[in-house]
Structure 1
């Protein structure tokens, strides 16, 4: 004991020291949080994450500001997290399968998808499908196959980028069916859908940004990639019904830079989980037919680790390289 220092004062000082982390944690967040969406505005992920950001911001007491950074197949958010962002909880980004896949398809891996990020929460996935121009020659999956086989190298399809989940799924389908297709990537799913409606490309294989154009009669949906038929588009068969044992929903979540404080992660997770299950966010997900794919922090990290192993095996099997 310090000379001349009463015991009650020492105990008070010790208690203050123990409380300091809690006090510091309680101050998070004390300024706006940046959420990077690595796509242009207007797509399904952008809409879902903007909704979640708005709802979470109310409970956090600080605005969650969405910043769109499109390009590089949706990996610019991950690049920012690993090269510029501080692990203080004020910059997070969408984590999706193209980010997990990228280290295995480039010569110089830019990150370790498991250990170079702080994975916070798994949220939702996409309704993928293939749509064609409604007044074009293709009316069904059978027509699609027949046209491709009769016209090798002439049937074009578009996606939101090279080496995205939808691109790789199309490559796998083409291999299984013995087709020679031409990939025409666009920057975003909504741009890809519009390109098909305008006749620039023959088909779009992507998430449900095509849905409004299907509802409006400009596009025809010929298949979906979920395990069951979509309630919104019950006439479109699943890949399983068409003879391919494949379910593709590409779950995504949110992550931050490596080394974030667990207390900060917990605050973010809890606010984002509440936002995900909020009726307003559920309404946005229903608008785009996005399936719920919730994982807590530990569960999401485990999912990313499992998926990284899968992506590594697939890249090796298909000899994928984009550089």
Structure 2
């Protein structure tokens, strides 16, 4: 009996020693700047909104959040780097929802249901199809009619193979009965420059095109949300034009799997406040991005649902074949 009691006391002391530093670490977190990996090029819509979000979250955390751009592979290169980081809360980043697709296509060796600690879903994106203001197509109907008469002859740029803009455009092409010639880039900003430079006929992107549409350099043929955007109320959605395609691809924040629960809670609190901050709201408003906040646990459930939906989409669009074609 005395021996059992002695073992219990020693075990209790051992547990206190083992977990004490973790609790102390969580209480003091963060003690130094945090690195935020944005898996897209600087200057794009995701980069702009994530930087505003990080400025606001840093205020709550009392430490600087340093944004590092790690573009490539439609957002998967930076995401993989974040997932492989030490799970101490000092490396976090944006999680593109397209990881639910790429993981099933085999282009990234990550299981999105097991690889991350989900912190917050923050905002959606306003996608659209834009062409040069000098292009002969005044409406989406004109654009589709031209494409039907010229299979694979109409080019469009996107942020990369298999990303939301590529898949959304191919889903639209399937619904419209046309075939486009896809030209992938490392990010939306590069695709935008290709359109402005006359190197592609159209651009499928989140609202990097917005200021250029407003200035008259580009023409917006359609947006991809459930409803028309606040800034471009005269532009119809794909859905109201008869194509049952809706794409909003919400952005989210996460860290590597295994974050100390208290650290994750601290980050969740900071990004919850950041999601309603004036600077983040202003950044989203500038690109017509809808606010779509979800706390970590609900965001994780959302991603699980998206994973199941992507399984069906991969089959319907024959995405594995599209990936091979490039």
TM (normalized to structure 1)?
0.91
Q: Deviations over 1:228-251 (max 9, x none)?
A: 111211111011110022221101
The question of whether the paired residues in 2 share the 8 Å contact of 1:127 and 1:249 is answered with yes
* RMSD, aligned CA: 1.9
The question of whether the paired residues in 1 share the 8 Å contact of 2:192 and 2:203 is answered with yes
Which residue matches 1:210? 209
Match runs of 1:181-196 below 5 Å: 181-196=180-195
Gaps of 5+ in 1: 1-12
Deviates more, 1:116-125 or 1:17-26: 17-26
- Per-residue deviation, 1:182: 0.3
Deviates more, 1:282-291 or 1:71-80: 71-80
Distance 1:277 1:284 in 2: 11
Distance 1:214 1:132 in 2: 9
Whether 1:273 aligns to 2:260 is no
- Per-residue deviation, 1:257: 0.6
- Per-residue deviation, 1:300: 0.5
- Per-residue deviation, 1:21: 5.3
The question of whether the paired residues in 2 share the 8 Å contact of 1:190 and 1:210 is answered with no
Q: Deviations over 1:194-246 (max 9, x none)?
A: 21122110000110001111111110001011111112111110111100222
The question of whether the paired residues in 2 share the 8 Å contact of 1:48 and 1:285 is answered with yes
Match runs of 1:79-90 below 5 Å: 79-83=80-84, 85-90=85-90
Distance 1:162 1:42 in 2: 20
Distance 1:172 1:21 in 2: 48
Which residue matches 1:134? 133
TM (normalized to structure 2)?
0.90
- Per-residue deviation, 1:317: 3.0
Q: Secondary structure of 2:231's partner?
A: coil
- Per-residue deviation, 1:190: 2.0
How many residues align structurally?
A: 309
Distance 2:79 2:24 in 1: 31
Distance 2:251 2:279 in 1: 19
Which residue matches 2:61? 60
- Per-residue deviation, 1:20: 6.4
Distance 2:233 2:173 in 1: 24
Gaps of 5+ in 2: 1-12
Which residue matches 2:10? none
Q: Deviations over 1:11-58 (max 9, x none)?
A: xx9xx9898654332210111110000111101111111111112112
Whether 1:320 aligns to 2:301 is no
